[in-house]
Amino acid sequence: MATLPRDLVPYRWIAPLLALGAVVLVPWTLVLAYRLPARHTAQHWDVAWVGFDIALAGALAATGWAVARRSEWAPAAAAIAATLLICDAWFDNVLANTREEHIEAAVEAVLIEIPLALFCVWLALHCEQTVDAVLDAVRRRRR
């Protein structure tokens, strides 16, 4: 696995900077909770969702390609795909308007998005073993 060059960022500052970011995000989130309206109409709603789904498809394709190519960035691709799937499930459910939209979003989340996200997390954690198993299966099939 590739690592950051030591001279890029002193390692002792990485964890405190991330912790500071998390701490600063808490009051900002409270400000947003107070200031943002409960209702908002957005232009280009369709473009936002289509763009997001294109990014999600790209992340899933990149994950499959990286696994097939035994790329060292396959775990990162799987983690990105998992994150986008969870975001998709969250926003589909939170932004649903009608009863039918709520049911559709919940079914998609439970049957597709969350299981696929969990699989991607598992894949990110066990990518090397998965690639080896796939390659073994391909070799057996060719015999």
Q: Tens of pLDDT along 48-80? A: 999 999 999 999 999 999 988 888 899 999 999
86-138 tens-digit pLDDT = 999 999 999 999 999 999 999 999 999 999 999 999 999 988 787 777 777 77
Higher pLDDT, 17 or 134: 17
Q: What is the dihedral sign for C-alpha 107, 112, 114, 115?
A: positive
- The verdict on pTM exceeding 0.75 is yes
- Answer whether 85's CB lies under 8 Å from 120's CB: yes
Q: How many CA atoms lie within 13 A of 120 on its CB side?
A: 26
Structural domain tally of the chain? 1
Residue 12 inside a domain? The answer is no
Range of the domain at 134: 45-142
Choose among 102, 108, 103, 115: nearest CA to 89.
108
